[in-house]
Amino acid sequence: MKKFLLVFGLIIVISGLIFLFFRYNFVFGEGSKAGELNLFVKKGYVWKTYEGRLIQTGYKSKVPGSIQSNEFEFSVVDENVARVLMSNSGSILELRYKEYLGALPWRGMSKYIVDSVISVTKVEGK
């Protein structure tokens, strides 16, 4: 019986570790998004993380009959990328990101992590 409980316990622990790896460290997808950088801040109680919001062209509606701007909320881990984004608020940006299945508090509040800035276009009059 002890051997059975030991094997069962090991299977549970290994399954849990595999689940946690795929939930929080497995890159589910990669892509790029473009739009106007509306918000970029460093915030947090315990872990200070960089959070941003990109307003994309077009509209989407979660509720029929209403209009809402198409927003892309993301987090940034790399300090160099964060510096570039901090200095380009209000510009049109094209960002490369990785999508995870879940967010970790020290990685940011979003499951979308921006890892590089592809292009920056300054908006006239800003």
SS (H, E, C) the chain: CHHHHHHHHHHHHHHHHHHHHHHHCCEEEEEEEEEEEEEEEEECCCCCEEEEEEEEEEEECCCCCCCEEEEEEEEECCHHHHHHHHCCCCCEEEEEEEEECCCCCCCCCCCEEEEEEEEEECCCCC
In tens, the pLDDT along 46-86 reads 999 999 999 988 766 667 766 667 889 999 999 999 999 99
pLDDT at residue 60, as a whole number: 66
Domain residues of the chain, as ranges? 28-121
Fold of 28-121: OB fold (Dihydrolipoamide Acetyltransferase, E2P) (2.40.50)
Global confidence as pTM = 0.78
